[in-house]
Amino acid sequence: MNLESQFSINHLEKPLNRFWELSGQKIKLIESSFDTADGAPVFTEKGKYVTRGWTEWTQGFQFGSAILQFDATGENEYLELGRKNTLNKMAPHLTHNGVHDHGFNNVSTYGNLLRLIKEGKIESNEWEKNFYTLALKVSGAVQAMRWTEIPSGGFIYSFNGPHSLFVDTIRSCRALVVSHALGHVLQSENDKRISLIERAIQHILSTVKYSIYYGEGRDTYDISGRTAHEIIFNTNDGNYRCPNSQQGYTGFSTWTRGLSWAICGLGETLEILDQIKEEDYAAVISKQDLIQTLTKAAKATADFYLANTPTDGIPYWDTGAPNLHKMGDYLSKKSDPFNDFEPVDSSAACIAAQGLIRIGNWMKKSDPTQSEKYIQAGIQIAGNLFSEPYLSTDPDHQGLILHSIYHQPNGWDYQPEAQKAPYGESCMWGDYHARELALLLQRMLKQENYYSFFNCVSP
């Protein structure tokens, strides 16, 4: 990626206004036409959101988007839309013990609503506040039940089963962090009390140890900052076996959305550590060692992203995608969503940009040079996402950010031209994270209260 020092956050003022205008139109369009009885909206086909029955991991992004829209614009219709749908449709996600997605679904809905109360953006009602608080407590405990013990600690296992650690689950840890901070624990057999923050930290440590590479000779493909989507463990003894990939090309290449999940999860974890008592997780690791470990992982993944992404900061779906070589020196030019060979994934950019900014903001005192680089990268990526050809300006297209990809290996994404890679479509997680990114930047630009998921506990 090329960094342009002349492009600043001030250049985003008009694009952000346009972004939120279009965002509101898309939210209304989906609400008026999509039937949630069929499942959650996942990605678009020919501009219309459709469902894909794997797990309903995107429903919180749909309703959370309306809440973020209210936060950014103050338009009450979006608040009522988010409130109504959270109350009527999100309860099954609170007790869903078959997925690793509680941090996506429930913090994006119940968490955002509680955050707005704590920030004073909506009028405080004691029963409403207690309702959201209870929901978040339950969600974190249920998520923590999906637990596999390994010699070095443990991890929240993916929907694939107890052998499977997904890199993206690092961002679901916020469900456990919030639940703990709200005073909750997981109770097991014989009333054994299990610390949710300890489990969250253990999962994060397992992710940075096994899912992220550091160029230290772990295998032939050990390149610093590379990530593997899935890590396989032997469930009989808990030992590591090998990397794998569900949505990337292979376990030995880097699925860029998985890389972005790591960057984002690491950034938002680092910036809230000062708000969590060290004594609450000291049995696992000291705060000093935790910060050192997470900082190493954050810098490695952020630097890998910047080094392996086209000049505009929007990556192709996998760094080892088999036809990238046909595109020549594709890293020396802007991403091309209309190419004949491999799709870009704008959703990875939406997620990574927020993570880069959060890492950069956290590093302002410890490493000003790196801090400036990461913040600048995140701002530039946002500028590219919030403009064409990535911003969806077609009033009939339900997506907000174009040219995302869901599952290239399974061939699930709509392909408008047989001779070209999939392009022109959106996804619910990409649109939601674009809104999170826009809200973060808007608050930074206006010097408002810093936007963090942990504001639902301590604004």
If you search the block for the tokens 């953006």, which residue do you land on?
A: 121
Q: Hey, what CATH class is 9-456 in?
A: mainly alpha
Q: What distances in angstroms separate CA 5 from CA 1, 9, 315, 319, 380, one per listed residue?
A: 13, 11, 21, 26, 9
Query: What is the predicted pLDDT for the residue at 53?
Result: 75
pLDDT, residue 124, reads 84
Residue with tokens 């057999």: 189
How many CB atoms sit inside 10 A of residue 339's CB? 18
H-assigned helices in 238-324: 256-270, 287-307
Tens of pLDDT, residue by residue, the chain (459 residues)? 999 989 999 999 999 999 999 999 999 999 999 998 889 999 999 999 999 877 899 999 999 999 999 999 999 999 999 999 999 999 999 999 999 999 999 999 999 999 999 999 999 899 999 999 999 999 999 999 999 999 999 999 999 999 999 999 999 999 999 999 999 999 999 999 999 999 999 999 999 999 999 999 999 999 999 999 999 999 999 999 999 999 999 999 999 999 999 999 999 999 999 999 999 999 999 999 999 999 999 999 999 999 999 999 999 999 999 999 999 999 999 999 999 999 999 999 999 999 999 999 999 999 999 999 999 999 999 999 999 999 999 999 999 999 999 999 999 999 999 989 999 999 999 999 999 999 999 999 999 999 999 999 998
| Dist CA 247 CA 54 (whole Å) | 13
Q: What is the pLDDT of residue 55?
A: 83
End-to-end CA distance of the chain: 34
Q: CA-to-CA distance for 56 and 51, rounded, in angstroms?
A: 9
Strand order in the sheet with 164-166: 164-166, 230-233, 240-244
Q: Whole-prediction pTM value?
A: 0.98
Identify whether the C-beta of residue 100 lies closer than 8 Å to the C-beta of residue 158.
Answer: yes
Which stretch of DSSP H or E encloses residue 132?
helix 126-144
Q: Which long-range contacts (CB under 8 A, 24 or more apart) does 47-50 make?
A: 47/394, 47/396, 47/397, 47/398, 47/399, 47/424, 47/425, 48/398, 49/398, 49/399, 49/426, 49/428
Per-domain residue ranges for the chain? 9-456
Distance between CA 389 and CA 391 in Å, rounded? 6
pLDDT at 182: 98
Contact 248, 293 (CB under 8 A): no
